[in-house]
């Protein structure tokens, strides 16, 4: 299968291409200079030239705080870019995976979000990603939407790298303890995305590593596994104000994934161990 992967220089796209190639597929990874996602003519021209069997759309406007004041660009990338890809995929009869986010929910739940639970984004990033979901559904029947959360991988910046850097520099960090979710290792998510696109089990899925923690607990575990003696101080979200409001509760239910016969991603602590081992290499 020939698979077009957008955002290959990002954390997830990088691992998706590796996983596709390991599974014997032909991967066409793209970066921003290959075509402008926000330009309909460029999207159509590039995709029709490549004629992939499938598209895994990892590219996104992911700066959650900046999106609050840069709504137009966030919408063009996350919503319109997805629409243009979906329309072209429909024309060439390709299937498409769109990577979405826990930020489509408002975080007021007390038990894991199912794929059918009502969406209600708190900010621009979540709104534009949800608009991308809606464009995909309305323009392409052969679609998969995969909502994920708290992503980290070897390629690019992430929470784990930031904690390790700050821990070594300062020996003490403050991390919010009142935001709950599940970290997601890109290697594990990439494996699921490739398994998904090899099937015709279309629809919406939630995929993150198994288990639940707060950002504070995640940080404590990072230092524990790294053997770093760092003091971690629990903070409330109010003590750490950001331009964009974060969902307090971001736990995604894996019921749909299991019902469709897929294997849930491993526990987040195991995944962290594998990631730290990868980073040492």
Going residue by residue through the chain, which has 281 residues, state the pLDDT in tens, using 9 for 90 and above. 999 999 999 999 999 999 999 999 999 999 999 999 999 999 999 999 999 999 999 999 999 999 999 999 999 999 999 999 999 999 999 999 999 999 999 999 999 999 999 999 999 999 999 999 999 999 999 999 999 999 999 998 999 999 999 999 999 999 999 999 999 999 999 999 999 999 999 999 999 999 999 999 999 999 999 999 999 999 999 998 889 999 999 999 999 999 999 999 999 999 999 999 999 88
Q: Supply the angle between the helices 159-170 and 215-226 in degrees, to the nearest 10.
A: 60
Domains along the sequence of the chain with CATH? 2-158+182-210+250-266 (3.40.50.720)
Locate all alpha helices (DSSP H) within the chain, ordered by sequence: 11-22, 40-50, 64-67, 71-75, 81-92, 124-139, 159-170, 186-197, 215-226, 255-259, 268-280
pLDDT at 241: 86
Instruction: List, by residue number, the catalytic residues.
Output: 125
Q: Which of 209, 222, 223, 204 is CA-nearest to residue 143?
A: 204
Cβ contact 198:138 at 8 Å: no
Is the whole-model pTM more than 0.95?
Answer: yes
pLDDT at 281: 83
pLDDT at 63: 94
pLDDT at 161: 96
d(CA 227, CA 83): 46
Cβ contact 243:68 at 8 Å: yes
pLDDT at 240: 84
Instruction: Take residue 4 and report the two structure tokens written for it.
Output: 């077009």
């Amino acid at each position: 299968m020939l698979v077009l992967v957008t955002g290959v220089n990002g954390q997830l796209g990088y691992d998706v291409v590796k996983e596709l190639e390991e599974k014997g597929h032909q991967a066409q990874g793209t970066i921003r200079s290959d075509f402008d996602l926000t330009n309909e003519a460029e999207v159509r021209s590039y995709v029709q030239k490549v004629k992939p069997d499938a598209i895994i759309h990892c590219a996104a406007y992911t700066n959650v705080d900046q999106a609050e004041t840069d709504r137009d660009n966030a919408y063009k990338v996350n919503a319109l870019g997805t629409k243009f890809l979906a329309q072209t995929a429909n024309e060439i009869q390709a299937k498409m995976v769109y990577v979405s986010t826990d930020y489509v929910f408002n975080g007021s739940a007390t038990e894991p979000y199912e794929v059918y639970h009502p969406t209600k984004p708190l900010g621009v990033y979540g709104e534009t990603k949800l608009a991308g979901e809606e464009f995909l559904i309305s323009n392409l029947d052969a679609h998969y939407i995969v909502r994920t959360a708290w992503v980290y991988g070897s390629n690019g910046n992430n929470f784990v790298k930031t904690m390790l850097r700050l821990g070594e520099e300062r020996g003490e960090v403050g991390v919010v303890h009142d935001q709950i979710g599940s970290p997601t290792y890109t290697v594990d998510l990439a494996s699921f995305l490739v398994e998904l696109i090899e099937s015709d089990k279309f629809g919406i899925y939630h995929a993150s590593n198994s288990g639940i923690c707060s950002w504070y607990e995640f940080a404590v575990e990072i230092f524990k596994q790294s053997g770093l003696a760092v003091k971690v101080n629990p903070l409330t979200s109010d003590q750490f104000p950001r331009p964009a409001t974060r969902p307090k509760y971001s736990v995604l239910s894996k019921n749909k994934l299991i019902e469709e016969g897929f294997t849930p991603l491993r526990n987040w602590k195991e995944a962290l161990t594998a990631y730290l081992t990868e980073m040492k290499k």
